[in-house]
Structure 1
Amino acid sequence: MNDTFRIGFIGAGPVTQAIHLPALSTLGERWQIAKVMDVDADVATKVASRCAAIATTHAASIIADDDIDVVAICSPNAFHAEQTIACCKAGKRAVLCEKPLAITREEAAAVAEAAAESGTRVMVGTMHAYDPGFRAGLAEWTQQRQRVTHVKSSIFLPPNAAFVGLATESLTPGGPPPVAPGQPSPEQQRAALKQTILGLAIHHIPLVRTFFPQCGKVLSARRLPPLGYSLLMHDGERSAELLGFMPGQWPTSWTFEVSGAGGELAIEFPPSYVLAGSGRATVRNPDSSRTFEFEINGYQAQWLQLHEALCARKPLSIPLSSAIDDLLFALELADRAAAVMEIEQ
């Protein structure tokens, strides 16, 4: 049996250039980059040349190619569900789709149906849910049977370009889109908050939902321009605080914390664009403290697990049903937050 699988990339932007390709380069001969697609022909050609792949400007060229086993979808969010479904219908062995998997509940249901009919394994790029440090810290916390009282996710990041430049010579430089002049309307503010939750907060939604399974009541919600949020939730037994903001001129701070009456689980994640190993997870209680840290990061762990699943013909550790539940949680959170958010005057 050939243990090398051929990958086609749809979208050759910074996530492909600075995260996936460097991560895959550390994993030996498990994967071969076969095709790289981008709507910008020059970007597609130059990125493909870095990994001896074929360049194309058409996603259909990758989806219809029977020699491609796995498709990595790194296109704009609006195309994720459509392209994942097309890959399933084309009989691909697996899809790794960047988050969010879809942007509506109807799209999520359609993805689930297509994957079930085709047998295609669909993995979502929620790298911190696969991070070995987080997984080890979670196992230790679970073994101690701690009762959760508070969950806190904090994502404070400088511009992505600050990290992309460390990982690769970017072919798509640029900062955030320009902010339109004038005060946005209430409807625009609510839409912006929803987009930020699906674009930034969603990185930690699988972690949040592990300890805070129901969205509960959103007690407060604020949009922090240009790209940020402050959310406080309560489900009757515990509270959750989600904070995020970018870009700013500060060191990265990407943390996740769980606390209870008898202890704490705290995780510090490195920037996604830098191969700096796993998150550093520490479980503390009154009698002891244990710390877990590993050489590989969440993206490397994802690709390793997907390879193992394909070789052994076994399910993924995070099934598509759980990934869709994460997405539905995020969509519900976005709706509830928008309904109660503080409108800027």
Structure 2
Amino acid sequence: MVTISEPTLTFIVQLVTLCLPSVRKGGSPVSELPIRIGVVGLGLIAQGVHLPNLETLRDQFTVTHVCDASLDRAASVADRLPGSVRASTRFIDVLTDPDVDAVLILTPGSHGDIVLAALEQGKDVFVEKPLAYSLAEIHELREAQVASGRVVQVGTMKAHDPLVPAARDALGRIGRLAVVRVTVIHPTDECQFEHIRLLNAPAPDPAVTSEAEAYSLRRAREAMGDDADGPRSLYTDVLLGSVIHEAALLRALGLGLPRTTDFACVDPPLSETPASQPPRLLAVGVLPGGAQLQLSWTWAPDFPEYVEEVMAIGSAGRMRLTMPGPYLPAHRSALTVESMVDGQRTVATTQPHHSTAFVEELRAFAASVRSGAPNVCTIEGAGEDLTFLQQVARAAAKQAGLPVGGEAGQGTDS
């Protein structure tokens, strides 16, 4: 029998400790090794954006498990990825995989059920917008996140655009803000991703899709009530599907969100049933600092490109931030600031370096998982966005003379 002296044993323990990754609250490793990622949902945003960016950041991430309602698509995506990657159709298989440290949840609809399950399994979570459909979900998720000690980052990527800090600083150089105009012109997705070799989803598992659709519908009714499908469709498809990015961007710029929506108009007018295509939307409210918010969202299916702009008009100048289309990796944001300096009108234009908001949000996720770095796209922020967007939906329904129930119906307009 070999006897090890106490000093030698202490040295061995210290050496082993140095070789092991440190551990955050909740037990996840803080290591320089790539974070092992499971991807749930393999549609356009996964294939066109996140999977290529994970490969770009391969020093930070490695994909070990992919999941989709179509096993054929999951297997095809897995075959394209480096290394040995598992493929499955049930998200719980990803969440219980010991070779997965964190998950990217990229499915359609509300994500509350998958996020809750991921937290229960001790996984860090990056989840595409919308995080949830209802404020009740937000409350449940926040409680689960606090209990687990895990990261939950929402994929409202515009908050991570490289020019947002400069735009936020510029707001302090244009005098007292009077008006903030947010303009979106939204074409069909098809014209934006023609360059992407998208794998279709043959033979999706009907049990998987029906369960997901039933969950989203239940949560949508929780938010908007059972009375009229038209306002509920506006809320889930347009407001949570697109306008939620503008809400998160306004918060990232330090402008906040209106506590009430004074006016919202939808054209063609809302009806009991959803329209055949998205409507035009105009919403007006007052931001916390007193500036008026004018938000315009226009569906233009044949428009040649996606357009998004935030213009802040102050007493001594204006700031104009234009955002790139979501599926064009070579496109960048641009910032133009007009102001008076020593009695002279000055115009300064800034464009970012090589990185994009999509890449930067994944870098931020890695930093939060590894070292607890601040997370700017939180569950609480998502709750603020939902509160605002429920106000807009309620105001639009009121303008059309339609009833709204659920959480939105319990809100006030004053």
TM over 0.5: yes
Q: Which of residues 278, 283, 288 in structure 2 aligns to 1:227?
A: 278
Deviations along 1:47-77, one digit per CA (max 9) or x if unpaired, are: 2222132211110011111321111111121
Could you say which residue in structure 1 is the equivalent of 2:113?
A: 82
Letter in 2 for 1:191: R
* Aligned residues of 1:112 and 1:320 also touching (Cα < 8 A): yes
Q: 1:235 to 1:318 in 2, by over 3 A?
A: same
Please state how far the C-alpha of 1:96 moved relative to its aligned partner.
Answer: 1.0
TM-score (norm 2): 0.73
Q: Which of residues 188, 193, 197 in structure 2 aligns to 1:159?
A: 188
Could you say which residue in structure 2 is the equivalent of 1:20?
A: 50
Letter in 2 for 1:115: Q
* Aligned residues of 2:34 and 2:58 also touching (Cα < 8 A): no
Q: Which of residues 202, 211, 215 in structure 1 aligns to 2:259?
A: 215
Could you say which residue in structure 1 is the equivalent of 2:351?
A: 293
Could you say which residue in structure 1 is the equivalent of 2:235?
A: 194
Q: Which of residues 255, 260, 263 in structure 1 aligns to 2:309?
A: 255
- Residue 182 (structure 2) pairs with residue 138 (structure 1): no
Deviations along 1:284-306, one digit per CA (max 9) or x if unpaired, are: 21332222322211110100111
Deviations along 1:17-37, one digit per CA (max 9) or x if unpaired, are: 101112222223211111111
Letter in 1 for 2:183: S
Please state how far the C-alpha of 1:218 moved relative to its aligned partner.
Answer: 2.9
Specify the SS of the correspondent of 2:266: strand
Could you say which residue in structure 2 is the equivalent of 1:42?
A: 72
Specify the SS of the correspondent of 2:193: helix
* Aligned residues of 2:129 and 2:154 also touching (Cα < 8 A): yes
Specify the SS of the correspondent of 1:116: helix
Letter in 1 for 2:239: I
Please state how far the C-alpha of 1:5 moved relative to its aligned partner.
Answer: 0.3
* Structure 2 Cα separation of the partners of residues 342 and 218 of structure 1: 16
Q: CA RMSD in A?
A: 2.3
Please state how far the C-alpha of 1:39 moved relative to its aligned partner.
Answer: 0.5
Letter in 2 for 1:213: L
Could you say which residue in structure 2 is the equivalent of 1:206?
A: 248
Unaligned stretches of 5+ residues in structure 2: 1-30, 203-226, 269-274, 403-414
Specify the SS of the correspondent of 2:183: strand
Could you say which residue in structure 2 is the equivalent of 1:181?
A: none
Specify the SS of the correspondent of 2:265: strand
Could you say which residue in structure 1 is the equivalent of 2:220?
A: none
Letter in 1 for 2:176: R
Unaligned stretches of 5+ residues in structure 1: 174-185
Please state how far the C-alpha of 1:216 moved relative to its aligned partner.
Answer: 2.1
TM-score (norm 1): 0.87
Please state how far the C-alpha of 1:135 moved relative to its aligned partner.
Answer: 2.8
Please state how far the C-alpha of 1:172 moved relative to its aligned partner.
Answer: 5.1
* Aligned residues of 2:36 and 2:63 also touching (Cα < 8 A): yes
* Structure 2 Cα separation of the partners of residues 266 and 341 of structure 1: 33
Please state how far the C-alpha of 1:105 moved relative to its aligned partner.
Answer: 0.8
Could you say which residue in structure 2 is the equivalent of 1:305?
A: 364
- Residue 165 (structure 2) pairs with residue 106 (structure 1): no
Specify the SS of the correspondent of 1:310: helix
Letter in 2 for 1:19: V
- Residue 374 (structure 2) pairs with residue 315 (structure 1): yes
Please state how far the C-alpha of 1:102 moved relative to its aligned partner.
Answer: 0.4
* Aligned residues of 1:254 and 1:270 also touching (Cα < 8 A): yes
Specify the SS of the correspondent of 2:263: strand
How many residue pairs get aligned? The number is: 328
